[in-house]
Amino acid sequence: MSKSATSRPQALILLSSARTLHLSEPVDHPGLPTGFFLVEVAAVLAQFEKDYDFILATPDGKPPQIDMNGLGLNFMGGKNTGTVAARTTIQNAQKGFTPEGLRKKNPKLVKRRNAELALSRRHLGRISVSAPLPKTDKEAISIRDEVVASFEALPEMKYFSIQELIEKHRDPNTPFSLQDLAFVHMPGGHGPMVDFHDNPWMGELLHSLRENRVPISLICHGPVALTSAKYRITGDGEVITNTEHALKGAKITTFAQMAERIVLASQYPKVPGKRTRLPYFVDVALKDAGYNVSLALNPSGVKVVWDEKHGLLTGNGPQAIDVQAARLAKIVQSRS
């Protein structure tokens, strides 16, 4: 974890370790299995693995969990995710549909998913995969056992907690410094709504990264971490709240409420036969926290925003990850 141990630059991959997303409706629901979206981290790993080493972290230091709903082939279309989702939905609805048949019709999507799973096995180690939901994509369910087994066969990687990273950064006797990081990337999925949101240690990390001029990349639900920026933590562990903080007013984007409502009405989070609602919408929470939130007019459209003043790069969902990873590479290169 120090520059003395490697000549390669280092980057921080910060993942949610949340396992359950609680709902506001139905009120008696135990919560949905959740995690991070594979595609939203794998594209960054692919962009940088040749020349960079990755430090892994989660808010509490526990291993993360892949949201299996993000393994659906419809999320492997990059900037064409909207078109791909429409096509695979039609194919799924055809008489005689089989998971094998869908894979044969979409070899490029299968190839990307296989490559991204391989990337994750290389870099993330032994992690779990969320349980399927009633409306989880059937093709994704068909590969779950194989994916689970492939991760269970791996050694466990070290995941630092945010508190550990801050304490190492502050300790003059350790070689680690946030200043040495090339960038930080935080992917989405619904997991960040649980443990990135309203988290004092996350707030301290964000400000420490900003103060050390480390680019911060967040995508999809990941930007909800910025709701934590009202917090700082002193060296004595005291939590200080300041709503007029240095990141307030930053220009960002995120997963839009309109897109979330579509997902809740018809896709995997939908509780069959019940009105389904999350505790909050990420874009609303960010606007309420004082950010300048810009959303794509088309829910499946690509939107990536770089706020150079605040060092924040944000994207609106899996459709934006390829564009965001390429933009992040240019930002890092320009700062090297």
Question: How much is the pLDDT for 114?
Answer: 98
Query: Tokens standing for 145?
Result: 């056992």
Please state the φ and ψ torsions of residue 231, each to the nearest 5 degrees. -105, 145
pLDDT digits (tens, 9 = 90+) for 129-159: 999 999 999 999 999 999 999 999 999 999 9
Query: Is residue 53 a contact partner of residue 158, using CB atoms and an 8 Å limit?
Result: no
Residue 245 neighbours by CB under 8 Å, 6+ apart:
207, 229, 230, 232
pLDDT for the residue numbered 92: 84
pLDDT digits (tens, 9 = 90+) for 303-318: 999 999 999 999 999 9
Of 248, 246, 253, give the one whose Cα is nearest residue 222.
Answer: 253
Say which amino acid occupies 145. Answer: D
CATH number for position 253: 3.40.50.880
pLDDT at position 6 is 57
161 - beta bridge partners?
Answer: 60
Could you tell me if residue 164 is left (phi over 0), alpha (psi between -120 and 50 degrees) or otherwise beta? Answer: alpha
pLDDT band at 336 (very low <50, low <70, confident <90, very high): confident
Residue 195's nearest CA partner among 36, 310, 30, 56 is 36
Instruction: State the residue range of the domain holding 111.
Output: 3-335
Least confident of 6-10, 74-78, 177-181, 288-292: 6-10
Smallest CA-to-CA distance from 133 within 261, 260, 256, 30 is with 30
Number of domains in the chain: 1
Look over the chain and give the mean of its residue pLDDT values, rounded to a whole number: 96
- In the prediction, which pLDDT does 4 show? 42
* Range 33-72 burial, b when 16+ CB lie within 10 A, else e: bbbbbbbbbbbbbbbbeeebbbbbbbbbbebbbbbbbbbb
pLDDT of residue 1: 63
User: Is residue 3 scored above 70 in pLDDT?
Assistant: no
Report the predicted TM-score, pTM, of the whole model to 2 decimal places.
0.96
Q: What is the 3-state secondary structure (H, E, C) of the chain?
A: CCHHHCCCCEEEEECCCCCEECCCECCCCCCEECCECCHHHHHHHHHHCCCCEEEEECCECCCCEECHHHHCHHHCCHHHHHHHHHHHHHHHHCCCCCHHHHHHHCHHHHHHHHHHHHHHHHHHCCCEECCCCCCCCHHHHHHHHHHHHHHHCCCCCCCEEHHHHHHHHHCCCCCCCHHHEEEEEECCCCCHHHHCCCCHHHHHHHHHHHHCCCCEEEECCHHHHHHHHHEEECCCCCEEECCCCCCCCCEECCCCHHHHHHHHHHCCCCCCCCCCECCCCHHHHHHHCCCEECCCCCCCCCCEEEECCCCEEEECCHHHHHHHHHHHHHHHHHHC
